[in-house]
Amino acid sequence: MSRTISLQDYISGIKSSDKRILGKAITLIESKKPEHRLIADQLLKEILPFTGKSVRIGITGVPGAGKSTFIESFGKFAIAQGKKVAVLAIDPSSSINKGSILGDKTRMEELAKDPNAFIRPSPSSGFLGGIANTTFESLLICEAAGFDYILIETVGVGQSETLVSDITDVFLFLKVIGTGDELQGIKRGIMEMADLIFINKVNSENLSKAKMTKTELSRALQFITPKEKNWKIPVILGSALEKSGLDEVFNKIDDYISLKIKNGTFLETRKNQARKRFEFWVREYILEKAKNDHLLETSFQKHKKKASELLSNPSSEASDFVNKLFRK
**Predicted pLDDT of residue 99:** 38
pLDDT at 190 over 90: no
**Predicted pLDDT of residue 325:** 83
Cβ partners under 8 Å of residue 203, min gap 6: 239, 242
Confidence of residue 129 (pLDDT cuts 50, 70, 90): very low
Q: How many CB atoms lie within 10 A of CB 279?
A: 10
Cβ partners under 8 Å of residue 52, min gap 6: 143, 270
**Predicted pLDDT of residue 96:** 35
**Predicted pLDDT of residue 283:** 84
Q: Are 137 and 44 in contact (CB under 8 A)?
A: yes
Q: Mean pLDDT lowest for which of 117-126, 226-235, 252-261, 290-299?
A: 117-126
pLDDT at 164 over 90: no
Q: How many residues does the chain have?
A: 328
Q: Per DSSP, what are the bridge partners of residue 174?
A: 61, 198
Q: Per DSSP, what are the bridge partners of residue 90?
A: 122
At the topology level, CATH places domain 1-50 in 1.20.5
The arithmetic mean of pLDDT across residues 199-213, rounded, is: 93
- Looking at residue 48, what DSSP letter applies? G
Q: How many CB atoms lie within 10 A of CB 190?
A: 22
Amino acid symbol at 86: A
Q: Where are the domains of the chain?
A: 1-50, 52-263, 275-326
At the topology level, CATH places domain 52-263 in Rossmann fold (3.40.50)
| CA dist 1 → 4, 106, 112, 267, 317 (Å) | 9, 28, 27, 45, 49
Burial 160-181 (b: 16+ CB within 10 A, else e): ebbbbbbbbbbbbbbbbbeeee
- 151-153-154 Cα angle (round to 5): 140
Q: Per DSSP, what are the bridge partners of residue 6?
A: none
**Predicted pLDDT of residue 101:** 41
Confidence of residue 253 (pLDDT cuts 50, 70, 90): very high
Render pLDDT for 6-64 as a digit per residue (tens, 0 to 9): 999 999 999 999 999 999 999 999 888 888 989 999 999 999 999 999 999 999 887 78
**Predicted pLDDT of residue 103:** 47
The arithmetic mean of pLDDT across residues 237-242, rounded, is: 96
Confidence of residue 138 (pLDDT cuts 50, 70, 90): very high
**Predicted pLDDT of residue 244:** 97
Burial-class residue 271 by CB neighbours within 10 Å (0-12, 13-18, 19+): exposed
Percent with pLDDT over 70 in the chain: 84
Q: Decide which of 133 and 192 is more confident.
A: 192
Render pLDDT for 266-294 as a digit per residue (tens, 0 to 9): 999 999 999 988 888 888 888 878 777 88
Cβ partners under 8 Å of residue 37, min gap 6: 31
Question: What is the signed CA dihedral for 105, 111, 114, 118, rounded to 10 degrees?
Answer: -50
